[in-house]
Structure 1
Amino acid sequence: MMQGGSQLQGSPHCSHTSWASHGGTQWGSQRLLAPHHPRIHIWSQGSGTERGRNGISYSGGAAKAEDSSGIPWSAINSPGFSFRKLWAFTGPGFLMSIAYLDPGNVESDLQGGALAGFKLLWVLLWATVLGLLCQRLAIRLGVVTGKDLGEICYLYYPKVPRVLLWLMIEIAIIGSDMQEVIGTAIAFSLLSAGRIPLWGGVLITIVDTFFFLFLDKYGLRKLEAFFGLLITIMALTFGYEYVVVRPRQVEVLKGIFLPSCPGCGRKELLQAMGIVGAIIMPHNIFLHSSLVKTRMIDRSKKEAVQEANMYFLIESCLALFVSFLINLFVMTVFGEAFYHQRNEDVVSVTCVNSSISHYASIFPTNNETVSVDIYQGGVILGCYFGAVALYIWGIGILAAGQSSTMTGTYAGQFVMEGFLQLRWSRFTRVLFTRSFAILPTVFVAAFKDVTHLTGMNDLLNVLQSILLPFAVLPVLTFTSLHPLMQDFSNSLPGKVLMILITGLVCAINIYFVVDFLPTLHGLEYHIPLGLLLAAYVAFVAYLVGLAPRDRGGTVSLVGAHQPVLFAPADLDMQHRAWSPVPGPGPPQPVQFWSRPRPNRHMVTDPIPAYYPHVPVQRGLLTPDTDLLPLRVRECFSQRCTADLPPRS
């Protein structure tokens, strides 16, 4: 027994380390490192603060006087519900909700209203509820484990599926960024009365991104306040359009609460799928699981974790309620004013006699139903309700595009750091994402018209829906593992509900791919799409069943209280322990050396570690091991049970 700590031995390959520190208060914090194997790298947060990426302080205990919200911890660390506490936790949810208000959502809303009137309002409502369920899982994962979804994917999945998963999420991020570029370019064109060409607006988006990077230097709370201002602008501008149009309130309520769509066909079904894809963004789940780490949480106390989950969930409910109202404003405005409108009515009756008659040429003079997008939608509003409505619409679209820009940058950086362990500066990350987004967008803007540019939004919304399972399945998997989440794991009804919803989304995606194949003439199109569909189904099936049952190794955090490290099967672990230093701050780390095993089929023993300030489990063999990978379960049952001494 050494001062301030103890060294205990389990099985021949298992080691156990625990310590207590100063002042009669027991805190535990250790660094587990494998220098030659980057997958074995975890920070178990018991106390102290780690200066995390982007300059944000992440903490696992109440060792600081203030949290990252700037409110003294002693002032908010009191029992019971408190609005002061809620304010301290406010921020991540509203940043997350911006993805529910990007130009892709606005495009989907107005097209849903113009195509189906109020018939798809219930789809908007339940898509938002589904989004809230996904965000709740992301909150729990980040709060309980202290790691975001990308980091846990890095530790959980083998290399090949992990890289494939990263590519899927990167495609979703780039697709979302393209929508933001398109929306901003169209807003500049509307506000300048066409003086700024679309390709010029696309290029301007390169400059405005760096403005947000500059703003980020002033602190997280100021950045959150600025995005709150942009959300307020969207609420006021789109709310103004709602007041001007004055939709029928009874019909609006029926559309929201009566899930039916009489007379709907394939177009309406495709639009409903687009609404789901626009509302629930795959990268947003990764973003939210990381944003919740910006608040101090004493993870050594179950009550503190429960309280953090509660306040983050309340804030997310409020934020998504605001986003639902804004989306509702847009869909009902176009459902009331432009449902079943014909092109000739818009041109001859309305636009020609308005103050913006020069825009009338963008509509064909035929008897077909008006097909609107975020550009034509603003023009039609101006034709019916005056130029003021056009410019207010443009301001709202500009706010939507700009607010989504920085959250996409955050998500991209968190995903890259989590999956690949790459530490890029935000400047480099912006250039990476925005380059992929701008090149195809500026090409379409320069050589095609606005119809082709806005048509990209529709395809990108469907793309988000197709990629959605690659975010939902991992977060559902991790939050369902009791060894990882302990008392905060998903309940059985919650698991069943999320599995059914994910299965429904996958089934809809497969249906539309199969339905799309006959429209392509030629075997050269059918074969590649068929192969892509088969690969999609196989990868989803792998994430559902194969990966959790058999993989090389993982790091499993049993809550934040008893982390257990499982090394990959091809490593043998040797270690040397540095003596913990009494006094403030975390003890010195335990460093593990690794070398390849001669027999790669042998199972590496887990290395358990526990903190003395929480109850000790006397054995590692528990029913929870049924949820762990097969080879890890074998390790549990055959070789690695440690008889831990009672706490002194």
Structure 2
Amino acid sequence: MGKSLEEVHQSVSTQNKKSVFRKILAFFGPAYLVSVGYMDPGNWATDIAGGSQFGYSLLWVLLMSNLMALLLQSLSARLGIVTQRDLAQASRETYSKPVNYILYFLAEIAIAACDLAEVLGMAIGINLLFDIPLIEGVLITVLDTFLLLFLINKGIRKMEAFIIVLVAIIGFSFVFEMIFAEPELDKVVYGLVPSIPSEAALYIAIGIIGATVMPHNLYLHSSLVQTRNFERSSAGIKQALKYNFIDSTIALNLAFLVNAAILILAAATFYRNGMYEVAEIQDAHRFLETLLGTKWAPILFAVALIAAGQSSTITGTLAGQIVMEGYLNLRIQPWVRRILTRLIAIVPAVIVILIYGESVTGKLLILSQVILSLQLGFAIIPLIHFVSDKSKMKGFHVSKTTQIAAWIIASIIVSLNAKLVYNEITGWLEVSENPIVLWLTVVPLAFFFLGLLLFIVFKPFITKAKQDIQNHSPHHLKLHFSKSESYTKKNIAVSVDFSSADEIALNSAFELGGMDAQYTLIHVVETVGAMVYGENIDDHETLIDEKLLLEYKVMLSQKGFNVTTELGFGKPNKVIPDIVNKAGFDILVMGTHGHTGFKDLVFGTTVDKLRHKISIPLLIVKN
């Protein structure tokens, strides 16, 4: 599988920095590209609607969403840093083709919905500031694609700098908006207390969650952290995780302040003046000058909107590239790929505006954010599984506490979405003149996606349980031993890896040595920590391997075989020869199984290195 965002992969060096500040600065950047997705025009629509209809009462939803986002983005960064795989690539390696195609389709819909919000938002900003018609504004956004190509050719650091400038423009604009609006601080604090005033507020709240915790950002972050080139040691990975968490904390809290400012602005101007129906960005812009008494309020509003749209379209298009390449392994020319990604968003926007007019843009923006929220579960749940997987994360899996927190967040999001879908479908059934059509189309589709979500939730637990039964117990081995006239080997080394390959390796060894031979079982721990710290490593996988090796010894000893064990640490092609050459073995026996890594060991260049490094015969036994 290719590298994620290959043109900028590991293009930023973080090594040989003379000061701690410079080292931290080298890691800073990816989270700022991610943060613009948390302050894009879709957020504006939901924040304005929430503030104008319910005042400050939904501020707590923004705060909760920000905390969710911080945890999930840190998990996404961890996946990319440790495994050097983005979320889409990790999914492709884990799930079957049909499941991956569906997940890709859902991710593409989410990115289209996100891009739709960004395209509309920027077009609205252009329309408000320069009085250019909305359709023409939408078409102008195609030029973003070429801006992205220009920036990425200049290097990821130039792109990050450009995005940070746009974020600064948004931030400063809203500092002045807050000064003009003079919000009621006591009510702002009260708005941080959880409450849902009505069913309509629930719809807006889910839209806010969808606009804040964005699925495409999870794909994006897991890729962007791989632009940093750092030492692939245990200490280097820990340092990268630490600095990226700091980066995420700062960037996402800035995004939260911008979102909170938009909602507070709507509450302090529209809600306070009884204008509860202001949900359109255009209406908000039109009333700002009248209500705040300064012409700068609408101008700064439009400038910030263009900056938000411009920055988020760049990152949204990058996410589209990551998803397409990761799920489909489809590599096409960058400019073609980005044009396609942009057209997926622009075509629906143009069609809707042509049919329904410019008045529906606000509803379209909120709908896009609800669609994003509905897709969240299909991105979050695989992510949690991946970063909790001890073997995939090579000793850097998340703690039980973090897993519980992540599952609580996933449960909240999925539960809210399930309630929203149920409410929407029952509402359609009640008002529909021909409900049978809905029963035959929408209802089965909802159940299908529910089934898919449950499959993604429980499959790793079921698969892992089966693997634990099969691989993590020596008692599944079917060992046979038949007496022979003569045995040629007296001191036999057997490489084991706690899989079905061990069965055929051990049986082959017994045929060579019988009951009188001395057998030494060799297993090598290959985690990152083992490679760095050797026998001093004390991680979970090492403890498990030690336990299993001892169980093998006890079981075989009970059957009458003379068994000792050797546990090595590092790369097998180096460690196994060291162990073998120190003892007087007659032969080394190795079995094969279907795992790629071991196939590489047996059939690739590794086995040639191993064969040339040992002074005894090597017996490779295939299943």
Per the TM superposition, whether the score is higher than 0.5 is: yes
Change (3 A) 1:291 1:504: same
* 1:518 counterpart residue number: 426
Where does 1:184-223 land on structure 2 (aligned, <5 Å)?
184-192=122-130, 194=131, 196-223=132-159
Matching residue of 2:264: 332
Residue in structure 2 matched with residue 274 of structure 1 by the alignment: 207
Output aligned runs, 1:375-414, within 5 Å. Answer: 375-384=282-291, 385-414=293-322
1:374 and 2:306 correspond: no
Taking the TM superposition and a 5 Å limit, the aligned residue runs for 1:586-625 are 615=534, 623=544
The answer as to 2:34 corresponding to 1:121 is no
The residue that corresponds to 1:91 in the other structure is 29
Of 227, 238, 243, the match for 1:294: 227
Q: Which structure has the bigger radius of gyration?
A: 2
Conservation of the 8 A alpha-carbon contact between 1:154 and 1:418: yes
Map 1:327-366; keep pairs closer than 5 Å: 327-339=259-271, 341-342=273-274
TM-score by length of 2: 0.74
1:512 is paired with a residue of what secondary structure?
Answer: helix
Partner of 2:171: 235
Query: Which protein is richer in helix relative to its size?
Result: 2
| Cα separation, 1, equivalents of 2:461 and 2:321 | 26
1:254-265 pair list within 5 angstroms: 254-256=190-192, 258-261=193-196, 264-265=197-198
User: Of residues 300, 304, 309 in structure 1, which corresponds to 2:241?
Assistant: 309
CA drift of 1:276 comes to 0.4
Report how far residue 341 of structure 1 moved: 4.0
How much does 1:565 deviate?
A: 11
- Deviations, residues 338-380 of structure 1 (Å, cap 9, x unaligned): 116456xxxxxxxxxxxxxxxxxxxxxxxxx433221111111
Work out whether residues 8 and 227 of structure 2, in 8 Å CA contact, stay in contact via their aligned partners in 1: yes
Report the Cα distance in structure 2 between the residues aligned to 1:203 and 1:488, rounded to whole angstroms: 45
Overall identity of the aligned pairs, in %? 33
Equivalent position SS for 2:395: helix
Secondary structure at the residue paired with 2:151? helix
**What SS does the aligned partner of 1:371 have?**
coil
Q: Which residue of 2 aligns with 1:361?
A: none
Q: Structure 1 residues 252, 424: closer, same or farther in 2, change over 3 A?
A: same
Q: Aligned partners of 1:70 and 1:486: how far apart in 2?
A: 23
Question: 2:559 is matched with which residue?
Answer: none
Quote the Cα distance in structure 2 between the aligned partners of 1:565 and 1:435.
49
Aligned in 2, Cα 1:403/1:248: closer, same or farther, shift over 3 Å?
Answer: same
Shift in Å, 1:612? 6.1
Say which SS state the counterpart of residue 534 (structure 2) adopts.
Answer: coil
For structure 2, the 5+ residue unaligned runs are 468-495, 502-522, 548-563, 570-574, 579-623
Distance 2:546 2:416 in 1: 34
What letter is aligned with 1:544?
V
Look up the SS of the partner of 1:85 in the other structure: helix
Q: What SS does the aligned partner of 1:402 have?
A: helix
Relative distance call for 1:271 and 1:625 in structure 2 (3 A) is farther
> 1:519-578 CA distances to partner (integer Å, 9 max, x unpaired)?
221221233221121012101110011255349x99xxxxxxxxx999999xxxxxxxxx
Task: Measure how far apart 1:434 and its partner are.
Answer: 1.4
**Which residue identity is paired with 1:182?**
L
Distance in 1 between residues matched to 2:63 and 2:236, nearest whole Å: 32
Unaligned runs of 5+ in 1: 1-40, 43-49, 59-67, 344-368, 555-563, 570-605, 627-640
CA contact (8 A) 1:185 1:198 kept: yes
Deviation at 1:106, TM superposition (A): 1.1
**Partner amino acid, structure 2, of 1:390:** P
**In 1, distance between residues paired with 2:299 and 2:140?**
19
Normalising by the residue count of structure 1, what TM-score does the alignment of the two structures yield?
0.71
What is the CA–CA distance in structure 2 between the aligned matches of 1:383 and 1:567, rounded to whole Å? 73
Q: Which amino acid aligns with 1:216?
A: I
CA–CA separation in structure 2 for the residues paired with 1:425 and 1:75:
35
Distance 1:87 1:537, change over 3 A: same
Give the whole-Å Cα distance in 2 for the aligned partners of 1:379 and 1:202: 20
Q: Which has the higher contact order (CA 8 A, sep 6+)?
A: 1
Task: State the partner residue of 2:332.
Answer: 424
Deviations 1:415-460 (A, max 9, x none): 1111111112321111111112111111222232222122111111
Tell me by how many angstroms 1:130 deviates: 0.2
CA distance in 2, matches of 1:142, 1:440: 32
Question: Aligned-pair distance for 1:185?
Answer: 1.1
Range moving further from structure 2, 219-228 or 437-446: 437-446
After TM superposition, give the deviation of residue 614 of structure 1 in Å. 5.2
Question: Which residue of 1 is the match for residue 415 of structure 2?
Answer: 507
Distance 1:517 1:93 in 2: 37
Q: Which residue of 2 aligns with 1:244?
A: 180
In the alignment, the residues of structure 1 paired with residue 546 and residue 150 of structure 2 have an alpha-carbon distance, to the nearest angstrom, of: 48
Shift, 1:513, TM fit: 1.6
In the alignment, the residues of structure 2 paired with residue 567 and residue 107 of structure 1 have an alpha-carbon distance, to the nearest angstrom, of 54
Aligned to 1:110: 48
Partner of 1:438: 346
State how far apart, in whole Å, the 1-side matches of 2:301 and 2:546 are: 55
Deviation at 1:382, TM superposition (A): 2.5
* Aligned partner of residue 259 in structure 1, secondary structure: coil
Tell me how far apart the structure 2 counterparts of residues 140 and 235 of structure 1 sit (CA, whole Å). Answer: 28
Q: Which residue of structure 2 lines up, in the alignment, with residue 225 of structure 1?
A: 161
